[in-house]
Amino acid sequence: MQSQNLNPPKIAYSIREAVQVSSLSRSTIYNHITAGRLKANRIGGRTLIPADSLQALIAGEA
């Protein structure tokens, strides 16, 4: 039987998820947001970081 990936790729991360997947600290994430190197959008009561922005930061492109 063929395994199917039922989880679509993430398009955005919460702060907590960004910390987990990037191995950066919470304060480092916020520092990058404040400096403009990491995009963040406030939606409702949540701060979401677009996946492509986090990937660009990690890749050194931000």
Q: Greater confidence, 44 or 62?
A: 44
Please tell me the distance from the alpha carbon of residue 54 to that of residue 16, in angstroms, as a whole number.
13
Q: What is the mean pLDDT of residues 34-58?
A: 96
Amino acid symbol at 2: Q
The yes-or-no verdict on residue 10 having pLDDT over 80 is: yes
Torsion sign across C-alpha atoms 14, 20, 26, 30 = negative
pTM of the model: 0.83
The pLDDT value recorded for residue 14 is 97
Percent above pLDDT 90 for the chain: 82
The yes-or-no verdict on residue 23 having pLDDT over 90 is: yes
> 30: which residues sit within 8 A by CB, 6+ positions away?
15
- The label of the residue with tokens 């950066």 reads 24
